[in-house]
Structure 1
Amino acid sequence: MENIEKKTPLNDLMDTTMDKIRDMVDSNTIIGEPITTPDGVTVIPVSRVSFGFGAGGGDYGKTDTAHFGGGAGAGVKVDPVAFLVVKDGLTRVMPVAIPAAATVDRVLDLVPEVLDRVQNFVDKKREEKDIY
Protein backbone atom coordinates (compact mmCIF):
# COMPACT_ATOMS: atom_id res chain seq x y z
CA MET A 1 0.00 0.00 0.00
CA GLU A 2 1.37 3.41 -0.92
CA ASN A 3 1.87 6.01 1.76
CA ILE A 4 0.56 9.16 0.07
CA GLU A 5 0.61 12.22 2.28
CA LYS A 6 -2.37 14.42 1.66
CA LYS A 7 -1.27 18.05 1.54
CA THR A 8 -3.64 20.16 3.64
CA PRO A 9 -3.60 23.76 4.79
CA LEU A 10 -2.70 22.46 8.26
CA ASN A 11 0.42 20.79 6.85
CA ASP A 12 1.40 24.08 5.21
CA LEU A 13 0.83 25.90 8.49
CA MET A 14 3.00 23.44 10.45
CA ASP A 15 5.74 23.49 7.78
CA THR A 16 5.89 27.29 7.89
CA THR A 17 6.06 27.26 11.70
CA MET A 18 8.89 24.71 11.75
CA ASP A 19 10.81 26.67 9.10
CA LYS A 20 10.62 29.79 11.28
CA ILE A 21 11.83 27.83 14.33
CA ARG A 22 14.75 26.45 12.29
CA ASP A 23 15.64 30.02 11.34
CA MET A 24 15.69 31.05 15.01
CA VAL A 25 17.44 27.99 16.47
CA ASP A 26 20.60 26.56 14.96
CA SER A 27 23.88 25.21 16.28
CA ASN A 28 25.26 28.77 16.59
CA THR A 29 22.54 29.48 19.15
CA ILE A 30 23.85 26.73 21.45
CA ILE A 31 27.59 27.17 20.91
CA GLY A 32 28.01 30.83 20.06
CA GLU A 33 30.50 32.54 17.83
CA PRO A 34 33.99 32.81 19.41
CA ILE A 35 34.97 36.28 20.60
CA THR A 36 38.70 37.05 20.68
CA THR A 37 39.96 39.89 22.84
CA PRO A 38 43.01 42.01 21.96
CA ASP A 39 45.13 40.19 24.58
CA GLY A 40 44.53 36.80 22.90
CA VAL A 41 41.78 35.39 25.12
CA THR A 42 38.97 33.62 23.27
CA VAL A 43 35.52 33.48 24.87
CA ILE A 44 32.86 31.11 23.52
CA PRO A 45 29.31 31.40 24.90
CA VAL A 46 27.36 28.20 25.59
CA SER A 47 23.57 28.29 25.93
CA ARG A 48 20.66 25.96 26.54
CA VAL A 49 17.81 26.27 24.04
CA SER A 50 14.24 25.15 24.70
CA PHE A 51 11.46 25.46 22.20
CA GLY A 52 8.01 24.24 21.49
CA PHE A 53 5.22 24.79 19.08
CA GLY A 54 1.67 23.85 18.49
CA ALA A 55 -0.66 24.03 15.55
CA GLY A 56 -4.24 23.12 14.93
CA GLY A 57 -7.02 23.66 12.53
CA GLY A 58 -9.99 22.22 10.85
CA ASP A 59 -12.31 22.35 7.90
CA TYR A 60 -15.75 23.79 8.34
CA GLY A 61 -18.75 24.13 6.13
CA LYS A 62 -20.60 21.51 4.17
CA THR A 63 -19.98 22.89 0.71
CA ASP A 64 -17.86 21.38 -2.02
CA THR A 65 -15.11 23.86 -1.16
CA ALA A 66 -14.62 23.48 2.58
CA HIS A 67 -13.15 26.42 4.44
CA PHE A 68 -10.11 26.04 6.61
CA GLY A 69 -9.49 27.75 9.93
CA GLY A 70 -6.29 27.25 11.87
CA GLY A 71 -3.53 28.73 13.92
CA ALA A 72 -0.02 28.05 15.09
CA GLY A 73 2.24 29.32 17.80
CA ALA A 74 5.83 28.81 18.83
CA GLY A 75 8.14 29.83 21.62
CA VAL A 76 11.91 29.77 21.98
CA LYS A 77 13.85 30.25 25.22
CA VAL A 78 17.63 30.74 25.29
CA ASP A 79 19.39 30.47 28.68
CA PRO A 80 23.10 31.23 29.02
CA VAL A 81 24.83 28.26 30.69
CA ALA A 82 28.57 28.91 30.60
CA PHE A 83 31.50 30.44 28.77
CA LEU A 84 34.48 28.53 27.43
CA VAL A 85 37.56 30.66 28.03
CA VAL A 86 40.65 29.75 26.01
CA LYS A 87 43.91 31.42 27.02
CA ASP A 88 47.45 30.29 26.24
CA GLY A 89 46.22 26.88 25.06
CA LEU A 90 44.27 26.21 28.28
CA THR A 91 40.49 25.95 28.23
CA ARG A 92 38.35 26.68 31.27
CA VAL A 93 34.61 26.44 31.70
CA MET A 94 33.11 29.38 33.54
CA PRO A 95 29.50 28.53 34.46
CA VAL A 96 26.84 31.18 34.64
CA ALA A 97 25.37 30.35 38.02
CA ILE A 98 21.72 31.07 38.68
CA PRO A 99 21.14 31.99 42.34
CA ALA A 100 19.35 29.35 44.37
CA ALA A 101 15.67 30.19 44.47
CA ALA A 102 14.15 27.68 46.86
CA THR A 103 15.14 27.01 50.46
CA VAL A 104 16.11 23.44 49.65
CA ASP A 105 18.39 24.69 46.87
CA ARG A 106 20.07 27.11 49.27
CA VAL A 107 20.62 24.36 51.84
CA LEU A 108 22.14 22.07 49.20
CA ASP A 109 24.44 24.88 48.08
CA LEU A 110 25.62 25.41 51.68
CA VAL A 111 26.27 21.72 52.50
CA PRO A 112 29.91 21.67 51.26
CA GLU A 113 30.73 24.84 53.20
CA VAL A 114 29.15 23.49 56.40
CA LEU A 115 31.02 20.18 56.04
CA ASP A 116 34.32 22.05 55.65
CA ARG A 117 33.64 24.06 58.80
CA VAL A 118 32.73 20.94 60.79
CA GLN A 119 35.89 19.19 59.56
CA ASN A 120 38.03 22.19 60.57
CA PHE A 121 36.38 22.25 64.01
CA VAL A 122 37.01 18.52 64.52
CA ASP A 123 40.64 18.90 63.39
CA LYS A 124 41.20 21.76 65.85
CA LYS A 125 39.72 19.71 68.71
CA ARG A 126 42.02 16.80 67.88
CA GLU A 127 45.04 19.10 67.87
CA GLU A 128 44.06 20.52 71.26
CA LYS A 129 43.66 16.99 72.65
CA ASP A 130 47.12 16.01 71.38
CA ILE A 131 48.70 19.06 73.04
CA TYR A 132 47.44 18.14 76.51
Structure 2
Amino acid sequence: MSNHPIEGLMKTTMDSLKEMIDVNTIVGDPVKLGDDGVIIPISKVSIGFASGGTEFSNTNSQSEEDYSSKFPFGGGSGAGVSVQPVAFLVVNKDQVKLLPVDEVNSIERIIDSIPDFVETIAKMFKKNNENKEDKIENTIKADEF
Protein backbone atom coordinates (compact mmCIF):
# COMPACT_ATOMS: atom_id res chain seq x y z
CA MET A 1 0.00 0.00 0.00
CA SER A 2 1.37 3.47 -0.88
CA ASN A 3 1.72 6.38 1.56
CA HIS A 4 -1.54 7.64 2.93
CA PRO A 5 -2.47 11.23 1.91
CA ILE A 6 -2.65 12.35 5.56
CA GLU A 7 1.11 11.68 5.83
CA GLY A 8 1.74 14.35 3.20
CA LEU A 9 -0.39 16.86 5.11
CA MET A 10 1.39 16.15 8.38
CA LYS A 11 4.86 16.30 6.80
CA THR A 12 4.12 19.66 5.18
CA THR A 13 2.84 21.10 8.46
CA MET A 14 5.79 19.80 10.47
CA ASP A 15 8.32 21.09 7.92
CA SER A 16 6.69 24.52 8.08
CA LEU A 17 6.89 24.48 11.88
CA LYS A 18 10.59 23.57 11.73
CA GLU A 19 11.23 26.59 9.52
CA MET A 20 9.43 28.94 11.93
CA ILE A 21 10.87 27.71 15.22
CA ASP A 22 14.49 27.19 16.18
CA VAL A 23 16.63 27.52 19.31
CA ASN A 24 16.79 31.31 18.91
CA THR A 25 13.01 31.43 19.34
CA ILE A 26 13.32 30.18 22.93
CA VAL A 27 16.70 31.64 23.89
CA GLY A 28 16.92 34.86 21.91
CA ASP A 29 19.90 36.62 20.43
CA PRO A 30 22.10 38.32 23.07
CA VAL A 31 21.96 42.11 23.39
CA LYS A 32 25.26 43.74 24.40
CA LEU A 33 25.33 46.29 27.21
CA GLY A 34 28.49 48.19 26.38
CA ASP A 35 31.65 46.35 27.42
CA ASP A 36 30.29 45.08 30.71
CA GLY A 37 27.38 42.79 30.02
CA VAL A 38 24.86 40.98 27.92
CA ILE A 39 21.08 40.51 28.15
CA ILE A 40 19.69 37.24 26.79
CA PRO A 41 15.89 37.02 26.37
CA ILE A 42 14.23 33.70 27.25
CA SER A 43 10.78 32.84 25.92
CA LYS A 44 8.17 30.12 26.29
CA VAL A 45 6.99 28.59 23.02
CA SER A 46 3.63 26.79 22.86
CA ILE A 47 2.59 24.82 19.80
CA GLY A 48 -0.80 23.41 18.89
CA PHE A 49 -1.16 20.97 16.03
CA ALA A 50 -4.17 19.33 14.42
CA SER A 51 -4.80 17.31 11.29
CA GLY A 52 -7.60 15.20 9.99
CA GLY A 53 -9.05 13.70 6.91
CA THR A 54 -11.58 11.39 5.42
CA GLU A 55 -11.81 8.90 2.62
CA PHE A 56 -14.97 8.42 0.70
CA SER A 57 -15.85 4.78 0.32
CA ASN A 58 -17.64 2.64 -2.19
CA THR A 59 -18.57 -0.91 -1.32
CA ASN A 60 -18.72 -1.87 -5.00
CA SER A 61 -15.06 -1.03 -5.75
CA GLN A 62 -12.99 -4.04 -6.79
CA SER A 63 -9.37 -2.84 -6.65
CA GLU A 64 -7.41 -0.36 -4.56
CA GLU A 65 -6.28 1.55 -7.66
CA ASP A 66 -9.86 1.90 -8.85
CA TYR A 67 -10.90 2.88 -5.32
CA SER A 68 -8.41 5.78 -5.00
CA SER A 69 -9.27 7.25 -8.39
CA LYS A 70 -13.04 7.24 -7.85
CA PHE A 71 -13.13 8.23 -4.18
CA PRO A 72 -10.54 10.87 -3.28
CA PHE A 73 -9.14 11.76 0.09
CA GLY A 74 -10.19 15.01 1.75
CA GLY A 75 -8.31 16.50 4.66
CA GLY A 76 -6.54 19.41 6.24
CA SER A 77 -4.05 20.33 8.89
CA GLY A 78 -3.09 23.38 10.86
CA ALA A 79 -0.87 24.61 13.62
CA GLY A 80 -0.63 27.54 15.98
CA VAL A 81 2.44 28.92 17.69
CA SER A 82 2.61 31.27 20.68
CA VAL A 83 5.86 32.90 21.82
CA GLN A 84 5.77 34.53 25.27
CA PRO A 85 8.77 36.18 26.98
CA VAL A 86 9.38 34.73 30.45
CA ALA A 87 12.70 36.09 31.63
CA PHE A 88 15.89 37.92 30.82
CA LEU A 89 19.30 36.51 31.68
CA VAL A 90 21.60 39.41 32.58
CA VAL A 91 25.30 38.57 32.53
CA ASN A 92 28.02 41.05 33.52
CA LYS A 93 31.54 40.92 34.96
CA ASP A 94 30.44 40.46 38.56
CA GLN A 95 27.27 38.40 38.42
CA VAL A 96 24.61 36.54 36.50
CA LYS A 97 20.95 37.29 37.23
CA LEU A 98 17.73 35.82 35.93
CA LEU A 99 15.03 38.50 35.84
CA PRO A 100 11.57 36.95 35.42
CA VAL A 101 8.94 38.91 33.53
CA ASP A 102 6.02 37.37 35.44
CA GLU A 103 4.45 39.72 38.02
CA VAL A 104 3.89 36.80 40.39
CA ASN A 105 7.65 36.66 40.87
CA SER A 106 7.91 40.31 41.97
CA ILE A 107 8.04 39.27 45.63
CA GLU A 108 10.73 36.75 44.78
CA ARG A 109 12.73 39.50 43.04
CA ILE A 110 12.41 41.72 46.10
CA ILE A 111 13.60 38.89 48.35
CA ASP A 112 16.52 38.21 45.99
CA SER A 113 17.55 41.87 46.10
CA ILE A 114 17.58 42.07 49.94
CA PRO A 115 21.24 40.91 50.27
CA ASP A 116 22.36 43.64 47.84
CA PHE A 117 20.28 46.19 49.72
CA VAL A 118 21.72 45.14 53.10
CA GLU A 119 25.25 45.28 51.67
CA THR A 120 24.64 48.79 50.34
CA ILE A 121 23.26 49.96 53.70
CA ALA A 122 26.24 48.38 55.52
CA LYS A 123 28.67 50.22 53.23
CA MET A 124 26.84 53.49 53.89
CA PHE A 125 27.08 52.99 57.68
CA LYS A 126 30.74 52.02 57.42
CA LYS A 127 31.51 55.08 55.29
CA ASN A 128 29.55 57.28 57.72
CA ASN A 129 31.50 55.85 60.69
CA GLU A 130 34.82 56.40 58.88
CA ASN A 131 33.83 60.02 58.20
CA LYS A 132 32.97 60.52 61.89
CA GLU A 133 36.31 59.01 62.96
CA ASP A 134 38.16 61.26 60.52
CA LYS A 135 36.34 64.32 61.90
CA ILE A 136 37.19 63.29 65.48
CA GLU A 137 40.87 62.80 64.58
CA ASN A 138 40.96 66.15 62.79
CA THR A 139 39.34 67.83 65.81
CA ILE A 140 41.87 66.23 68.19
CA LYS A 141 44.79 67.28 65.98
CA ALA A 142 43.41 70.82 65.78
CA ASP A 143 43.08 70.98 69.58
CA GLU A 144 46.70 69.87 70.05
CA PHE A 145 48.06 72.86 68.17
| TM-score, normalisation: structure 2 | 0.59
Q: Which amino acid aligns with 1:70?
A: G
Deviates more, 1:52-61 or 1:91-100: 91-100
Count of paired positions: 98
Unaligned runs of 5+ in 2: 108-145
Percent sequence identity is 44
TM alignment of 1:1-132, pairs within 5 A: 6-60=2-56, 62=58, 64=66, 65=69, 66-98=71-103
The CA deviation at 1:8 is 1.4
Change (3 A) 1:71 1:87: same
Question: What is the aligned partner in structure 2 of residue 113 from structure 1?
Answer: none
Aligned to 2:15, what secondary structure does the other structure show? helix
The CA deviation at 1:99 is 6.0
Q: Which amino acid aligns with 2:18?
A: R
- Kindly name which structure, 1 or 2, has the bigger radius of gyration based on alpha carbons: 2
State the alpha-carbon separation in 1 of the partners of residues 9 and 99 from structure 2: 41
CA RMSD of aligned residues (A): 2.4
Aligned to 1:77, what secondary structure does the other structure show? strand
Change (3 A) 1:98 1:18: farther
Normalized per residue, the structure richer in helix is 2
State the alpha-carbon separation in 2 of the partners of residues 24 and 74 from structure 1: 11
Unaligned runs of 5+ in 1: 101-108, 110-132
Aligned to 1:15, what secondary structure does the other structure show? helix
Aligned to 2:7, what secondary structure does the other structure show? helix
Aligned to 2:3, what secondary structure does the other structure show? coil
| TM-score, normalisation: structure 1 | 0.65
